[in-house]
Amino acid sequence: MAKATTEARRQLASRSYGWAQYVAARLTGIGTQVTPNQISLLSIPDRLADPLFLVPLGYAAGYPWLGWLAALLAVLTGPCLGRLARPAAGLWRALPKQRRMAVLTVALLIQAIDDALWGSRVSLLVAVIIIAAGSLVTCISRSIAIARRLEAPRVAGEAS
């Protein structure tokens, strides 16, 4: 059973950091009062992070609807689709969260210069377009991967 859980989780370098392993060990250790449901509840601010950053990005770029669209698509790329589509399926990781946040960070750094020199918001507009389009590609790729996986014949004895 542990093998299936390991395969479904995406590999993150941060999981191998000493501090992350220390915190995980303390949270899951014997005698702790932290339950799996509480850990799941804490992961909700992670799902909320995309809308909290992307909606204002759309407003700042001058296109609020584009920020809302980017936020919606980013949330749809989340774990419910990601756990069903395997990495081997192709482009399913086209624009995962860490890449969305990297695009946003670079855009904000460029925006500081852009605003000071020209007073424009082009970098923000480009960022919200990249994030919305990348999230859409990710949703489509994951959906295709899930459909292929569902259509694939099952091997005898394979868990459902």
C-alpha span between 4 and 23 (Å, rounded): 23
Structure tokens at 149: 């996986």
Q: Which distant-in-sequence residues (6+ apart) come within 8 Å of 116 by Cβ?
A: none
- Alpha-carbon 84 to chain mean position: 14
C-alpha span between 61 and 74 (Å, rounded): 17
Mean per-residue pLDDT over the chain, rounded? 79
pLDDT at residue 2 in the model: 43
Structure tokens at 48: 């909320």
Q: How confident is the model at residue 3 (pLDDT cuts 50, 70, 90)?
A: very low
For the full predicted model, state whether its pTM sits above 0.85: no
Q: Where are the domains of the chain?
A: 1-42, 45-160
pLDDT digits (tens, 9 = 90+) for 16-47: 778 877 877 777 776 677 777 777 777 777 77
